[in-house]
Amino acid sequence: MTQIILIRPGSTDYDQEQRIQGDLDVPLNRQGNREVAKLIRELGGLPIVAVYAPPCEPAYQTAQSLAGALDVKCRKLDRMKNLNHGLWQGMRINEVRRKYPRAYRQWQEQPQSVQPPEGETLEQAARRIETAVAKLLKKHKEGMIALVLPEPMASLVRSHLDHGELGDLWKATLGHGHWELCDVRPPVVA
């Protein structure tokens, strides 16, 4: 059986300012580096065989640090790049709530029905995820792998793996430097 450790990258200045990062490259800040050090301590004893991350800077920085500490390979997954939030990228969450009140509420209640202006939908991102996860599971039929993903991609992968709900994606953006273990259920593998 394959197990996936789903890891949220360390935080950035955008995160602390409650800005929507999307697929912008923003480096880890001091707090983010402390969160990565904590992740390394917590995950150091687990039998992780590989670490994967999209090319965005905070996720890949986190993944490289973890892989280096575990002495395993770190690989980029372009298909797992974060959701393109279009014109929302760089905006504070409160600005989105004020300028796009209906879309903000929909993002909380039915995020699948929202497409940020000039951005992509969760459904488009989910298709990328399904393809990437299928390739990973084909390559790693057994063992434990780590995926370092920003939000909302981490929530999309978790939902895909456990066939569950997405939850509140605005709140999910606050979980930097956290991880969870996901057992892969058979329908995902098929």
Number of domains in the chain: 1
- The 3-state DSSP class for residue 73 equals strand
* The pTM of the whole model exceeds 0.95: no
What is the average per-residue pLDDT within 94-108?
89
Instruction: Give burial (CB, 10 Å; 0-12/13-18/19+) of 4.
Output: buried
Q: Give the model's pLDDT for residue 188.
A: 52
For the cut 60, the answer to whether the pLDDT of residue 189 exceeds it is no
For residues 79 and 129, the answer to whether their CB atoms sit within 8 Å is yes
What is the average per-residue pLDDT within 113-142?
91
Q: Which residues does 138 contact at the CB level (< 8 Å), separation at least 6?
A: none
Reported in sequence order, the residue ranges of 8-129 that DSSP labels E, i.e. its strands, are 48-53, 73-76
The strand pairing partners of 28, in sequence order, are 12
Identify the domain containing residue 144 by its residue range: 2-189
The answer to whether the Cα torsion of 131, 136, 137, 138 is positive or negative is positive
Reported in sequence order, the residue ranges of the chain that DSSP labels E, i.e. its strands, are 2-7, 48-53, 73-76, 143-148, 179-183
Q: Which of 26-40, 79-93, 161-175 has the highest mean pLDDT?
A: 26-40
Instruction: Return the CATH number at 184.
Output: 3.40.50.1240
Q: Give the model's pLDDT for residue 190.
A: 43
- How many whole angstroms separate alpha carbon 6 and alpha carbon 48? 12
Q: Give the model's pLDDT for residue 26.
A: 93
DSSP state of 71: T
Mean pLDDT of all residues in the chain? Answer: 89
* For the chain, percent of residues with pLDDT exceeding 90: 64
Q: Give the model's pLDDT for residue 186.
A: 56
What is the per-residue pLDDT across 30-82, written as a single tens digit (0 to 9) for each?
Answer: 999 999 999 999 999 999 999 999 999 999 999 999 999 999 999 999 999 99
